[in-house]
Each structure stands twice: as C-alpha cells, then as structure tokens.
Amino acid sequence: MPNYKLILQYDGSRYRGWQRLPDSDMTVQGKLEAVLSRCFGEPVEVQGSGRTDAGVHALGQTASFRTQRDLPPEELLAALRRWLPEDLGAVRLCYAPPRFHARLSAVEKTYRYRVWTTEAPCVFARRFLYVLPGDYSLPRMEAAARLLEGRHDFRACSGVKTKKSTVRTLKRIAIFRSGDELDFDFTADGFLHHMVRILTGTLLEVGRGNRPPESVTELLRGGPRAAAGFTVPAKGLCLMEVRYETEEGKEQSL
C-alpha cells in the first residue's frame, strides 16, 4: 500500500477551510479527495499537516495519503494539476516512508501574517492582507515578541476551550517591514486554534502603544482569553512551511 506525500498551495479566500464538511464541497480537503478518488478509482482520505480555517491561505501545506493502487508520482502530479481548481495547486508529490503522516510527523510549522498599514490602495494583494492603517513601533513589538518566545501555556491565545494541553514552544517571531506592509512570521512546534491571529492582534496593540510590551507575559500563565489582544481576520494568514525530521534526525523543509 503506497504512501504519498504532497505539497500544496492554495488561495483560501473562497474555501470554508481545510477540513472536509458534510454539507459543503468548498473545502480544500474535500476538493483534493474528490480528485484523488477520481484518479485512483477508489475512495482516498487525505491527512493535512494542519486544519487551516476558512479564508486562510497556504504556500507550503503538506498532505499525505495511502492508496490500494500504485500510480507513479509524476503521473499523479500531472493529473492533480489538470483537474484541481486554479486556486488550489499541487507543487510537489513523491512516495513517503510507510510511517510518514503529514500531521503526526511534523516537528515545526511557520505561519506568516501580513498587514497593510496605510490608506493607500493595495488592489492586487487585497485578498491576502489585513488593512489596518496606523503607526507601529517595531522596537516595541520586537520587545514583546522576545517575551513570547519559548515554551509557555498559550491558553489565552486559543479561540476555543479545550481540556488538552495548551503548552506550545514558540521558537521564533520575526517582524519586518516592506514598504507599507508589516509582516509577522511565527515558527513553533505546533499552534492552537486562532493562536497566530490572536498573537498578531496582541503585537499590533503593542505596536500602536495600546499596551506595554511587558503586558504580554500575562498571556503565558494559562490565563483567560481576555488577557490577549484582538483576533485579526483570517485573510492575512498564510501557512508558509512545514518541517519534518529525517531518518538522520535532522529537520527538513518540504
């Protein structure tokens, strides 16, 4: 039974998220499974590295799936590129080791959130940016980011209540400007629901002077959602990269 590994990118604007839904065919997983099932002539269930929300995009989503039939990866990749909608693209496809699982084997993910900071129009990137004009202090946001990095209880940065552990290791936060655009990159061993969007909203509040940088330490004690900042919209968020551990124990990008 072959195991495949697929790298995807998609514009999430018109999708109701990654996860297959019983009442809609407008999900990334649903579209992908429909095409793969057509290719193999059998039902195919796809596992993603994470369940991106409605409106969230991906530049480097990873998926895996097992099938009864064996189709050459190059043939299958060509079929996916021919039959998938134009806002859902198959980038790379290969055989995976038998035990590889897109979600369970992941060791690190990076998300980017993009903010447009002026009133000037940004027509061609409007579906991928959150427009929030204002003056933002990069030193203040970077000071807060350093406090957020590390292994903490990020319950205050979760959009849902859960009995499962909310401890995560936030390895890096990079904040950088490109003209009128302000970008936030978050790399962690895993993310809670809405975690990146809540952290971004919190850092924007710090950057605008609405809260001091040191106030973010209140988020790291497993406190209530009210301790964190606002949740920014989904459309500015993109899954950039998922990393896995090789047999030699080193991380690899896919």
pLDDT in tens, 51-61: 999 999 999 99
What digits encode the pLDDT tens for the residues 165-221? 999 999 999 999 999 999 999 999 999 999 999 999 999 999 999 999 999 998 898
The answer to whether the pTM exceeds 0.95 is no
What digits encode the pLDDT tens for the residues 31-47? 999 999 999 999 999 99
Q: For residue 123, what are its two tokens?
A: 């027509």
- 242 close to 103: Cβ distance less than 8 angstroms: no
Residue 186: the pLDDT is 98
Q: Which domains, and CATH codes, for the chain?
A: 3-95 (3.30.70.580), 107-245 (3.30.70.660)
Catalytic residues: 53
* Cα separation, 202 vs 194, whole angstroms: 12
* Cα separation, 11 vs 72, whole angstroms: 27
